[in-house]
């Protein structure tokens, strides 16, 4: 195996450039200031966007939010979220991009690890009170001093994000604090085990990912990118996402929800040329988008979970969009089918790495590379991919191999043409509509329920989400009330677990199947979960997958 290359070589070869991410994304403010950058109810040109970013970066300093403190950004898509994120990058206060659906169970360890000085959240809503959760985090982590709230109703000790954004006066001095080798932002890993781990992305590494992804997507000054999924996710943010569209001189449209009728309206109204969806939303798009013949100009990027070949073929045939399959991860590696690939490659593979220098290795159970075309775990290293997590997880060497490879936990085959086909996964994760649910994380919280003696979580085929979360539970005999799916979900919510991880199905059993020295036989459980009724002995009268498929949240977007 070749020795690992490193940053010195990445810079020498021009893969990493001496450029800050905010400068890359906002460079069209001087090159083509009047071109639209944001479309929708609050439109902005590239020049106005850059001015707003400079103004907010200066205001943040006045508020005492200073480099190199990170700031937790837990906001849904909006112009304010985009401006704040870019301002934080510019100010050298790396935003930690956190999906609005995450709760204290997921965020507590992140705040403990990265010690952000501030947190931005939506105002209290009908479904959830983010400011109340943020105040809880502040109590447990006193370094989290400033609370930025997006909405009218702000308590006295909170800063209204709207007020911050309204200060458009040009600052006396541009805040420009970081070096390109420093962290520009943090994504949160979607997880293989436990709560999410912070992924530090430097200006130069993420800049190269954004440039490469934008180039293979065909983004340019006339492109209009619709952020249909949350911008807090790397796919919508930087793969190539809104950052790639802006860096190419194009415009972005920020969807507030992934409701398909809303998305189709935005596509028509704004003349969208590019968008990115997870597979469950593709099926919905096919049902709602106006039919058109093949040869259309719109590009539909699909990733986050495996798209089946039949649905893939229907995209150009039924709605006339060009399909681009994307396999990638917040840790870095990005693989795309190319826009000029033959139809069978686009429909049947997840493409090839987009960055020169990105190495992929397919490894068998013995830790050695498999023969070409054989299935194995994908390992990767190179200029796109991080070599460690931040915080406590940095010490967990498990996901990073001895030669500097990131072990994806994904099973793949790589054909002679170099195209990757994702065939399965080794990691114990349920991929629910593109959102990854680490089984051990749900099991650990569910096991605290007094009515649960033992619990094991596996995926099952779900008609809407691709995979649903199935909890097999051995109930506590002396439990005070019968365990139901509803009660279990309520309990998980009270324990601060994000709702997209809640089981869609509960199966009560007498015992969990075991192998070897007593490890739960997850393969047997997965086979059982595929069936309508469980196969294991169940307590009398309770042998059904009770309340099956309660749904919570939309595909990857809540
Ligand atoms: P995230 O970091 O949230 O983007 O998740 C990365 C993981 O999502 C990968 O390691 C895969 O397990 C899964 N994934 C992403 N894209 C695909 C795809 N096109 N097909 C199958 N799995 C995918």
**Closest residue CA from atom 5 of ligand 1:** 329
CA of 198 to the centre of ligand 1 (A): 17
Q: List C-alpha distances in Å: 102 to 98, 135, 137, 279, 464.
A: 7, 15, 13, 22, 21
Structure tokens at 538: 């169940």
Ordered alpha helix ranges (H), 271-349? 279-288, 309-314, 343-348
pLDDT at 20: 96
pLDDT band at 393 (very low <50, low <70, confident <90, very high): confident
Q: Which of 23-32, 162-171, 289-298 has the lowest mean pLDDT?
A: 289-298
Give the mutation target among 186, 436, 437 for probing the ligand 1 site: most ligand atoms within 8 A of CB. Answer: 436
Q: What is the mean pLDDT of residues 155-171?
A: 80
In this prediction, residue 131 carries a pLDDT of: 96
* 153, pLDDT greater than 70: no
Query: How far apart are alpha carbons 470 and 454 in whole angstroms?
Result: 14
Residue 366, pLDDT score: 92
DSSP 107-168: HHHHHHHH--SEEEEEPP-SS--HHHHHHHHHHH-TT--EEEEESS---TTSEEHHHHHH--
197 lines ligand 1 (CB under 6 A): no
C-beta 350 within 6 A of ligand 1: yes
In short, whether 304's Cβ falls inside 6 Å of ligand 1 is: yes
Cα separation of 39 and 47, whole Å?
14
The helix (run of H) or strand (run of E) holding residue 440 is helix 439-446
What pLDDT is attached to residue 48? 96
Q: Please indicate whether residue 336, judged by its CB atom, sits closer than 6 Å to ligand 1.
A: no
- Residue 234 Cβ contacting ligand 1 at under 6 Å: yes
Q: pTM for this one? A: 0.93
* C-alpha span between 75 and 296 (Å, rounded): 34
Residue 243 burial class via C-beta count within 10 angstroms: exposed 0-12, middle 13-18, buried 19 and up? buried
DSSP element (H, E) containing 22: helix 21-26
Residue identifier of the C-alpha nearest atom 14 of ligand 1: 304
Q: What average pLDDT score do residues 358-381 get?
A: 95
Ligand 1 atom closest to 235 (CA): 4
- Give the distance (Å) from ligand 1 centre to CA of residue 329: 6
Does 505 contact ligand 1 (Cβ within 6 A)?
A: no
Reported confidence tier of residue 291, pLDDT bands at 50, 70, 90: confident
- For ligand 1, is residue 305 a contact (CB within 6 Å)? yes
Q: Is the predicted pLDDT of residue 358 greater than 80, yes or no?
A: yes
Asked whether 208 lines ligand 1 (CB < 6 A), one says no
Q: What structural domains and CATH numbers belong to the chain?
A: 429-556 (3.30.300.30)
Question: Six-digit token pair at 503?
Answer: 């089981």
Question: Ligand 1 in contact with 322 (CB < 6 A)?
Answer: no
Contact 271, 299 (CB under 8 A): no
Q: 148, 72 in Cβ contact below 8 A?
A: no
Q: Which atom of ligand 1 is nearest to the CA of 350?
A: 19
């Amino acid at each position: 195996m070749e020795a690992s290359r490193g940053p010195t070589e990445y810079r020498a070869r021009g893969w990493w450039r001496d450029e800050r991410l905010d400068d890359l994304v906002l460079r069209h403010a001087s090159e083509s200031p009047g071109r639209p950058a944001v479309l929708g109810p609050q439109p902005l040109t590239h020049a106005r966007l850059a001015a707003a970013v400079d103004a907010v970066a200066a205001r943040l300093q006045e508020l005492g939010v200073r480099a190199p403190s990170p700031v937790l950004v837990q906001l849904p898509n909006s112009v304010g979220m985009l401006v704040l994120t870019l301002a934080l990058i510019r100010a050298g206060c790396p935003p930690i991009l956190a999906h609005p659906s995450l709760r204290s169970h997921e965020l507590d360890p992140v705040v403990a690890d990265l010690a952000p000085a501030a947190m931005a959240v939506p105002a209290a809503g009908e479904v959830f009170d983010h400011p109340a959760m943020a105040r809880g985090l502040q109590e447990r982590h006193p370094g989290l001093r400033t609370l930025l709230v997006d909405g009218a109703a702000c308590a006295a000790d909170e800063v209204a994000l709207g007020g911050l954004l309204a200060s458009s006066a040009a600052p006396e001095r541009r805040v420009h604090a970081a070096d390109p080798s420093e962290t520009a932002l943090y994504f949160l890993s979607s997880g293989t085990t436990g709560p999410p781990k912070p992924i530090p992305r430097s200006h130069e590494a993420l800049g190269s990912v954004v440039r490469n992804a934008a180039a293979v997507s065909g983004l340019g000054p006339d492109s209009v990118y619709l952020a249909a999924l949350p911008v807090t996710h790397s796919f919508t943010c930087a793969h190539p996402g809104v950052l790639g569209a802006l860096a190419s001189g194009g415009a972005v449209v920020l969807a507030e929800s992934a409701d398909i009728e809303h998305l189709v309206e935005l596509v028509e109204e704004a003349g969208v040329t590019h968008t990115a969806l997870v597979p469950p939303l593709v099926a919905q798009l096919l049902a709602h988008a106006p039919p058109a013949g093949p040869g259309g100009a719109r590009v539909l990027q699909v990733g986050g979970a495996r798209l089946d070949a039949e649905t893939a073929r229907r995209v150009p045939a039924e709605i006339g969009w060009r399909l681009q399959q994307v396999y990638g991860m917040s840790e870095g590696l990005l693989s795309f089918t190319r826009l000029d690939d033959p139809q069978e490659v686009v429909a049947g593979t997840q493409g090839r790495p987009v960055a020169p220098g990105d190495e992929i290795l397919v490894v068998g159970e013995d830790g050695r590379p498999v023969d070409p075309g054989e299935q194995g775990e994908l390992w990767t290293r190179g200029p796109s991919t991080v070599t460690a997590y931040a915080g406590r997880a940095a010490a967990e060497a498990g996901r990073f191999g001895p030669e500097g490879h990131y072990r994806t936990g994904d099973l793949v085959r790589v054909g002679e043409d170099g195209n990757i086909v994702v065939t399965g996964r080794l990691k114990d994760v349920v991929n629910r509509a593109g959102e990854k649910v680490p089984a051990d994380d749900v099991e650990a919280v569910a096991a605290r329920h007094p009515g649960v003696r033992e619990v094991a979580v596996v995926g099952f085929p779900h008609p809407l989400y691709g995979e649903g979360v199935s909890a097999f539970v051995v109930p506590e005999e002396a439990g005070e009330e019968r365990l139901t799916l509803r009660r279990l979900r309520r309990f998980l919510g009270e324990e601060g677990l994000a709702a997209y991880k809640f089981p869609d199905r509960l199966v009560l059993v007498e015992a969990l199947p075991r192998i070897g020295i007593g490890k739960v036989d997850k393969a047997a459980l997965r086979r059982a979960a595929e069936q309508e009724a469980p196969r294991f002995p169940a307590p009398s009268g309770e042998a059904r997958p009770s309340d099956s498929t309660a749904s919570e949240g939309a595909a990857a977007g809540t």
